[in-house]
Chains A and B, each alone.
Chain A
């Protein structure tokens, strides 16, 4: 994920991690552009349940269409791409990531950094946590003459990944995904590739340690990070092409050092409007951000000195802050655990538990749900989550609606009003508490609901 649009004037000069991320991404897209000449195989796959270490152990390059879609949103291209897809017969009702991707493809397949994206040699349909993924690659495969390999990751309907489900994923990895990669790359999954996979899994675990340290730094007051708006940059490398790579490890080491230095100095994160050292509100956020008005959305928070201390969106590509790490000693099993544990593969009670845990662990003053129209995986059930979390924490929540990359669904005035009235309510609640009023009850959150 590029940081080009974010606070460059404040940070570019001093934050090594941002420079590193920018370089990594540029190099990756250049390498992708050259892939047709260099012969490096290209594997398209999804962020949740991505098998980057395995893909790279085979010497192939991953492409994540969701990242391209969100980048198109940030760069103001998504409106045209979505219109193009709708013109071609895609319904206005369905996920805009898919339409943005298809529109981009139909408009020349120029990726976020301005380079042409290569065609896939393999579509690795990791069916993890989202129904739309299945259709997305069924749709893409109509456009490309390449094989598709399907990996079904069972949903954690009972709140855990059962041994049978774990085994089912591992069987598919062994019986389908690996043979498909062998075919496309012309390499056998032998001891050498397995050793390479293990090495990469160890690199992944290292970066995961550092990422968790970064995310958990938000427990401090003031928080040295914004765990949502800043968080989406922090997860960029590990959720996309760079988990299990040396560049990824270097990035997270640098990031951790910077964040720890900020924490030691009692400083907050840098926002589009400058440093946020004075933090009046600590919030937890559920749901993806809007990408088309990302900076404007962030500013609505920073204008009020509100910092996000934990978010669930930063767990879509892997939940690491409850202890999971990739384990090089059990390559297939660990990949199964990883896939099964991605945030949108968790059931509603687990998602509610996670929010409650964040609110408590991160001493949050409030929580907010950004419900995006595109995504049934995230959004269906969020109004119940709101109520349950309110009930269990005694903290009222706010509910706002937007979309990922369809600018037609971002109503700035509406969202701003909702957020402001919500923060005012948090103030009133605090005052009440300070005055011995007790507070409690979530019912007041109603005014912030749709």
Chain B
């Protein structure tokens, strides 16, 4: 065998490995009945706890020996039969598909659901879940918003301790989740964040190597599988991706923002890239990397987890921004860090956090000379023509005039 043939074979194997992993992730993404998560629970005689976007402390669920399951709506494949009867037309799509998942029994394997303080829709959904599913544990998780760090830290530590107590009970432990178990879980999630960062770094450096579609499918799988499995698959993907770079295309580089809760259909992400925009940073599923950097694994784990949130949470629309310049410069900083040429505001229709933030963020970006476009989607949007045209024109404008 010649050296060249050997290389070709290696590349072919890497390509097959990549396709296998992406296929594995896609299966989990498309499975609206959470079959894999169910089977995992059966196999390990374990329970599962769901959580809505954006951020939930998955470490505590994991430390209780339960499976954290991100509930991100029904996407474009779920037929809404019951969900629409719960919501007026002017409310975003995510809660109706979540209700649909619940009412159709697709979430009946969950022993509890956490509703983080993302917006009033998710907040109110927590109470609706209490009414509709009285048999499961429901907690509204009020994230710390105070910009006084000491006060916020105390509050959040208290909330985390409540979760440790409650989830210990739900899991059938003799008492609250132990500090040791939490430390071990923090270490696992540090690894999760590390591989996600690697994934983002690689895409930023070589976006032709990591199409957003693939990155996204992996992240989605990560929402429904145990952390160890996600880490294993992502590491394997990274290796395979590095070995199989696609050819470099003439595309501009963009940051996609506003898509942190209700998720855009996969087709929309593909459309943006195919229309000529490499996505080099985004806030899709941002909860999985909201904590920036390592969470300490020594000392009081609750204090460590709380500190990481209070001191180093990524800036998002769902957390109060105490620094007025923070908001004005956010997209400049993100665009610079990602080496992006422009910003795509992609927000779900009727999404208060994304749409109320948009004028401020957009003004901030434009004040720094960063070109922007904005559009709205629903998780079940099926027509991408308009997005394709907008993104294509945007890419052409940047190429021609640098967006000026």
- A interface residue numbers (CB < 8 A to B): 88-91, 93-95, 98, 125, 127, 130-132, 134-136, 138-139, 141-142, 148, 150-152, 154-155, 157-158, 164-165, 168, 171-172, 175-176, 347-352, 371, 373, 376-377, 379-384, 388, 401, 450
Across the two chains, which residue of chain A brings its CB closest to B355?
A91
A381–B127 CB distance below 8 A: yes
Q: Given A141-B324, A172-B151, answer yes or no on A89-B87 (Cβ-Cβ < 8 Å).
A: no
14 further A-B pairs in the complex, CB-CB below 8 A; given A150-B322, A347-B127, A348-B124: A93-B376, A94-B356, A127-B320, A138-B360, A148-B322, A150-B145, A152-B320, A157-B115, A168-B146, A168-B155, A175-B148, A176-B148, A376-B120, A376-B352
Residues of B within 8 A of A383 (CB): 85-88
Across the two chains, which residue of chain B brings its CB closest to A377?
B120
Across the two chains, which residue of chain A brings its CB closest to B327?
A138
B158 within 8 A of A: yes
B151–A175 CB distance below 8 A: yes
B355–A134 CB distance below 8 A: no
A150–B147 CB distance below 8 A: yes
Q: Given A150-B322, A157-B140, A164-B158, answer yes or no on A132-B352 (Cβ-Cβ < 8 Å).
A: yes
Per a CB cutoff under 8 Å, which of A125, A131, A165, A349 touches B352?
A131
B95 within 8 A of A: yes
A157–B126 CB distance below 8 A: yes
Residues of B within 8 A of A90 (CB): 359
A155–B123 CB distance below 8 A: yes
B142 within 8 A of A: yes
CA distance A150 to B146 in the complex (A): 7
CA distance A348 to B140 in the complex (A): 12
CA distance A363 to B18 in the complex (A): 67
Q: Indicate with 1 or 0, residue by residue over B83-95, a CB within 8 angstroms of chain A CB atoms.
A: 0011111110001
Instruction: Give residues of chain B (72-108) contacting chain A, Cβ–Cβ below 8 Å.
Output: 85-91, 95
A154–B142 CB distance below 8 A: yes
Tell me the smallest distance from the CB of B141 to a CB of chain A, in Å.
8
In the assembled complex, 18 residue pairs joining A and B whose CB atoms fall closer than 8 Å, in A order, are A91-B376, A130-B120, A131-B119, A132-B352, A132-B356, A138-B321, A139-B360, A152-B145, A152-B320, A164-B162, A171-B151, A172-B148, A176-B151, A349-B127, A373-B88, A380-B95, A381-B124, A383-B87
B359–A381 CB distance below 8 A: no
Tell me the smallest distance from the CB of B229 to a CB of chain A, in Å.
31
CA distance A164 to B161 in the complex (A): 12
B204 within 8 A of A: no
CA distance A175 to B85 in the complex (A): 45
CA distance A150 to B149 in the complex (A): 12
Q: Indicate with 1 or 0, residue by residue over B109-146, a CB within 8 angstroms of chain A CB atoms.
A: 00000010101110111111011100000011010111
Across the two chains, which residue of chain A brings its CB closest to B143?
A152
Residues of A within 8 A of B89 (CB): 450
Q: Given A168-B155, A383-B85, A384-B86, answer yes or no on A127-B145 (Cβ-Cβ < 8 Å).
A: yes
- B interface residue numbers (CB < 8 A to A): 85-91, 95, 115, 117, 119-121, 123-128, 130-132, 139-140, 142, 144-148, 150-151, 154-155, 158, 162, 317, 320-322, 324, 327, 349-353, 355-360, 362-363, 376
CA distance A239 to B139 in the complex (A): 30
CA distance A74 to B203 in the complex (A): 53
CA distance A89 to B88 in the complex (A): 24
Per a CB cutoff under 8 Å, which of A139, A142, A347, A373 touches B126?
A347
Per a CB cutoff under 8 Å, which of A93, A150, A347, A382 touches B350?
A93
B88–A171 CB distance below 8 A: no
**Do most interface residues of chain B lie in helix, strand or loop, or is the interface mixed?**
helix
Tell me the smallest distance from the CB of A82 to a CB of chain B, in Å.
14
Residues of A within 8 A of B87 (CB): 380, 383
Residues of B within 8 A of A154 (CB): 142, 155
A152–B362 CB distance below 8 A: no
Residues of A within 8 A of B320 (CB): 125, 127, 134, 138, 150, 152
Tell me the smallest distance from the CB of B206 to a CB of chain A, in Å.
35
A380–B125 CB distance below 8 A: yes
Q: Given A134-B320, A176-B151, answer yes or no on A380-B124 (Cβ-Cβ < 8 Å).
A: yes
CA distance A168 to B157 in the complex (A): 12
Residues of B within 8 A of A381 (CB): 86, 124-125, 127-128
A135–B139 CB distance below 8 A: no
Residues of B within 8 A of A401 (CB): 88
Across the two chains, which residue of chain A brings its CB closest to B123?
A155
Residues of A within 8 A of B139 (CB): 157-158
CA distance A392 to B361 in the complex (A): 46
CA distance A148 to B325 in the complex (A): 13
Q: Given A93-B351, A380-B125, A388-B131, answer yes or no on A347-B140 (Cβ-Cβ < 8 Å).
A: yes
CA distance A138 to B324 in the complex (A): 8
CA distance A130 to B121 in the complex (A): 10
Residues of B within 8 A of A347 (CB): 126-127, 130, 140
Tell me the smallest distance from the CB of A330 to a CB of chain B, in Å.
19
Residues of B within 8 A of A152 (CB): 142, 144-146, 320
Across the two chains, which residue of chain A brings its CB closest to B348?
A93
CA distance A388 to B132 in the complex (A): 10
Q: Given A95-B352, A171-B154, A175-B151, answer yes or no on A379-B322 (Cβ-Cβ < 8 Å).
A: no
Tell me the smallest distance from the CB of B58 to a CB of chain A, in Å.
19
CA distance A209 to B320 in the complex (A): 36
B88–A379 CB distance below 8 A: yes
Per a CB cutoff under 8 Å, which of B88, B146, B357 touches A176?
B146
Residues of A within 8 A of B90 (CB): 93, 373, 379
Per a CB cutoff under 8 Å, which of B130, B142, B322, B363 touches A155?
B142
A94–B355 CB distance below 8 A: yes
Residues of B within 8 A of A450 (CB): 88-89
Residues of A within 8 A of B327 (CB): 138
Tell me the smallest distance from the CB of B233 to a CB of chain A, in Å.
35
Tell me the smallest distance from the CB of A86 to a CB of chain B, in Å.
10
For the complex of A and B, 10 pairs with smallest distance between CB atoms: A348-B127, A157-B140, A135-B356, A91-B355, A347-B127, A381-B124, A376-B120, A377-B120, A152-B145, A380-B124
Tell me the smallest distance from the CB of A407 to a CB of chain B, in Å.
16
Residues of B within 8 A of A135 (CB): 317, 352-353, 356-357
Q: Given A90-B359, A93-B349, A450-B88, answer yes or no on A380-B146 (Cβ-Cβ < 8 Å).
A: no
Residues of B within 8 A of A89 (CB): 358-359, 362-363
Tell me the smallest distance from the CB of A200 to a CB of chain B, in Å.
25
B128–A376 CB distance below 8 A: no
CA distance A93 to B378 in the complex (A): 13
A91–B358 CB distance below 8 A: yes
